[in-house]
């Protein structure tokens, strides 16, 4: 069984309950989940793929249950401050062999890239990452055994930011996705109010076609309409906060 894990929580301090912000009548987290429901619809029907919101035990996160249908996605409550441990807990409880890890902040994360990762894991890779897509669109995945081994000695640690450091980098297979070399200024992740404005604009303008649009078409539409300018100035602030939080977890 392949588990697609959307890691999200509702206790964000920078942008409160950001996953519940709506565009075109759906919450952001619903748009993200729906893109993957569409991409993996056949595998879901055949019980080969299952979708999860992997969130923490904080009671605030119970609100996910009010907006997402249980027949579409399962809400799993696990470790509060250790994301890879939460993934292991969810995978163990649900007999998941391969995990596709999607950050819940990456509202338009590439579902087609996730499919590439799935295929490599099926071929025997321990861990796979895509590279080359704009920030917020790349995907990674790993086998549960590799995750368990990588967590050894880290069960008690706080691992929320930059937790990829637990993995042996030499064991990671990289899938290079070309054609986006000029799109490195795109910021497709949700942390601040301007990011919310960006996603609202893109989703409202494209509508339901955002569920099926190819990555290249999506990026081209954003560039053609200069929507990237809505949050382009946030990348330096984002990486500054990211690196600061990483240091605090060490």
How many Å apart are CA 55 and CA 73, to the nearest integer? 12
Question: Residue 29 is encoded by which pair of tokens?
Answer: 């987290």
Residue 245: which pLDDT band, with cuts at 50, 70 and 90?
Answer: low
Whether 249 contacts 154, CB under 8 Å: no
- Do 4 and 87 form a contact (C-beta atoms < 8 A)? no
Q: Classify residue 134 by burial, with Cβ atoms within 10 Å: 0-12, 13-18, 19+.
A: buried
Give how far Cα 133 sits from Cα of 45, 196, 210, Å. 29, 20, 17
Question: Is the Cα dihedral 165, 167, 169, 172 positive or negative?
Answer: negative
C-alpha dihedral, 195 to 201 to 202 to 207, nearest 10°: 140
Closest CA to 100 of 151, 144, 158, 57: 144
- State how far the alpha carbon of 141 is from the alpha carbons of 3, 123, 126, 201, 229, in Å: 10, 13, 8, 30, 31
Across 161-203, where does the E strand assignment appear? 172-176
pLDDT digits (tens, 9 = 90+) for 52-107: 999 999 999 999 999 998 889 999 999 999 999 999 999 999 999 999 999 999 99
Please give the angle made by the CA atoms of 196, 177 and 211, to the nearest 5 degrees.
Answer: 45
What residues contact 202, with CB distance under 8 A and at least 6 apart?
Answer: 108, 210, 218, 221, 222, 227
Burial class (CB in 10 A: 0-12, 13-18, 19+), 88: buried
What is the model's pLDDT at position 236? Answer: 67
Structure confidence by residue, pLDDT tens digits, 181-202: 888 889 999 999 999 999 999 9
User: Residue 183: which domain range?
Assistant: 2-249
Domains held by the chain: number: 1
**Model pLDDT for residues 7-27, shown as the tens digit of each residue:** 999 988 788 899 999 999 999
38, two tokens? 């569409």
Q: What is the pLDDT of residues 148-191, one digit of tens each?
A: 999 998 887 888 878 888 999 999 999 999 999 888 889 999 99
| pTM attached to this predicted model | 0.92
The CATH number for 196's domain is 3.90.550.10
User: Under a CB-based contact definition with an 8 Å cutoff, are residues 215 and 113 in contact?
Assistant: yes
Mutual angle of helices 28-39 and 111-122, in 10-degree steps = 50
3-state secondary structure of 60: helix
Residue 176 to residue 179: CA distance in whole angstroms: 10
């Amino acid at each position: 069984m392949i588990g697609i894990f959307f890691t999200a929580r509702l206790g964000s301090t920078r942008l409160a309950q950001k996953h519940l912000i709506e565009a075109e009548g759906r919450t952001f987290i619903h748009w993200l989940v729906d893109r993957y429901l569409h991409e993996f619809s056949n595998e879901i029907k055949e019980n080969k793929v299952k979708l999860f919101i992997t969130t923490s035990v904080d009671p605030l996160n119970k609100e996910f249950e009010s907006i997402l249908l249980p027949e579409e996605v399962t809400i799993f409550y696990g470790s509060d401050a250790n994301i890879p441990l939460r993934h292991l807990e969810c995978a163990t409880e649900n007999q998941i062999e391969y995990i596709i890890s999607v950050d819940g902040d990456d509202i338009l994360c590439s579902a087609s890239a996730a499919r590439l990762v799935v295929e490599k894991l099926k071929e025997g890779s321990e861990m796979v990452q895509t590279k080359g897509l704009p920030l917020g669109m790349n995907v990674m995945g790993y086998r549960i055994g590799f995750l368990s081994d990588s967590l050894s000695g880290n069960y008690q640690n706080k691992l929320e930011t930059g937790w990829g450091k637990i993995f042996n980098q030499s064991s990671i297979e990289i899938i290079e996705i070309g054609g986006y070399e000029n799109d490195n200024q795109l910021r497709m992740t949700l942390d601040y109010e301007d990011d919310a404005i960006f996603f609202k604009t893109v989703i409202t303008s494209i509508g339901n076609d955002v569920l099926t649009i190819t990555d290249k078409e999506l990026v081209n539409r954003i560039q053609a309409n200069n929507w990237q300018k809505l949050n382009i100035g946030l990348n330096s602030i984002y990486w500054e906060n990211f690196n600061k939080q990483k240091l605090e977890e060490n």
